[in-house]
């Protein structure tokens, strides 16, 4: 059993820098997401931007027990793709959504954050899914206080999404983060209040609800990466990396610049 590695204040600042670089990368993507753009173009921009800032895109070459290493610097999951979508030459279309998950390694620490973007004009139903998923992320963050437990986070996310009639994906979860992108503990998007490990100052975790419009059942595509909803209804994914210090959550990544680019979309 590997241990939870609690971070010092100095380490939290290094994690913040890596995460703000992810947020800046996602902001660059926000500026160019529109109908006709390919996810490969988003990937090219992201890789260049990350390397120009002296960091490494951690997703590139990420090993896959089911197949070959991940071929790109970001995951681009379109519509019914829940997570781990592989960038391609297929242009995005008006009404699509695309979740862009991005990871960096900067000065020995990892950044990890994801945002689901609207492409052109998206239906009200889908906007509602995005709104609820993002809200659930912040509900989870609010639950992450010293003395609370990991299950409190999952319970907050699950309650918020299931109340709206959405599915909560079980097979993929949030995680500790530090020198490694995936550390202990696992942070599920479901759970029971009062269950799981206790939250302490210095805990750094990525919380990342993956929420479906319909059933939460998933399937793996032939590329051995793309995870889709079995009913092929859309899914949304938002992720922040947070640090617990001074008793509560400090969000190390940021959506504020992205949301400024987006304007009042939903």
**Subset of residues 218 to 247 that bind Mg ion, contact rule: CB under 5 A:** 239
CB 27 within 8 A of CB 261: yes
Query: Can you tell me which of 96, 112, 152, 183 binds Mg ion, judged by CB under 5 A?
Result: 112
**Residue 105 Cβ vs Mg ion, minimum distance, rounded to whole Å:** 13
Binding mask 25-64 for Mg ion (x = CB under 5 A): ----------------------------------------
Sheet holding 167-168, edge to edge: 167-168, 210-212, 235-237
CA distance 39 to 44: 9
CA distance 195 to 175: 16
DSSP 125: H
Residue closest to 111 by CA, chosen among 8, 258, 251 = 251
Phi, psi of 11, deg, nearest 5: -65, -35
With contacts defined by CB under 5 A, name the span among 49-57, 93-101, 122-130, 164-172 that binds Mg ion.
93-101
206 binds Mg ion (CB under 5 A): yes
Give the residue with the Cβ less far from Mg ion, 112 or 139: 112
Give the residue with the Cβ less far from Mg ion, 80 or 112: 112
**Subset of residues 144 to 183 that bind Mg ion, contact rule: CB under 5 A:** none
Binding site for Mg ion (CB under 5 A): 101, 112, 114, 206, 239
């Amino acid at each position: 059993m590997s241990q939870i590695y609690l971070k010092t204040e100095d380490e939290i600042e290094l994690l913040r820098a890596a995460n703000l670089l992810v947020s800046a990368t996602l902001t660059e993507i926000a500026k160019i997401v529109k109908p006709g753009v390919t996810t490969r173009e988003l990937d090219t921009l992201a890789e260049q931007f990350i390397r120009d800032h002296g960091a490494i895109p951690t997703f590139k070459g990420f090993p896959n027990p089911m197949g070959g290493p991940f071929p790109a610097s970001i995951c681009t999951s379109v519509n019914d793709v829940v997570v781990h979508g592989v960038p391609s030459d297929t242009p995005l279309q008006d009404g699509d959504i695309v979740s862009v998950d991005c990871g960096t390694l900067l000065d020995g620490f990892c950044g990890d954050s994801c945002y689901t973007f609207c492409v052109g004009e998206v239906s009200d139903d889908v906007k509602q899914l995005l709104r609820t998923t993002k809200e659930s992320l912040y509900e989870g963050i609010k639950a992450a206080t010293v003395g609370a437990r990991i299950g409190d986070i999952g319970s907050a996310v699950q309650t918020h999404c299931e109340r709206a009639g959405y599915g909560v994906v079980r097979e993929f979860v949030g995680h500790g983060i530090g020198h490694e992108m995936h550390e202990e503990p696992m942070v599920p998007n479901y759970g029971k209040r009062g269950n799981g490990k206790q939250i302490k100052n210095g805990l750094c975790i990525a919380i990342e609800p993956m929420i479906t419009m319909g059933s939460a059942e998933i399937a793996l595509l032939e590329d051995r990466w793309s995870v889709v909803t079995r009913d092929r209804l859309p899914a949304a994914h938002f992720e922040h990396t947070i640090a617990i210090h001074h008793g509560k959550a400090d969000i190390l990544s940021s959506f504020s610049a992205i949301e400024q680019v987006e304007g009042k979309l939903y």
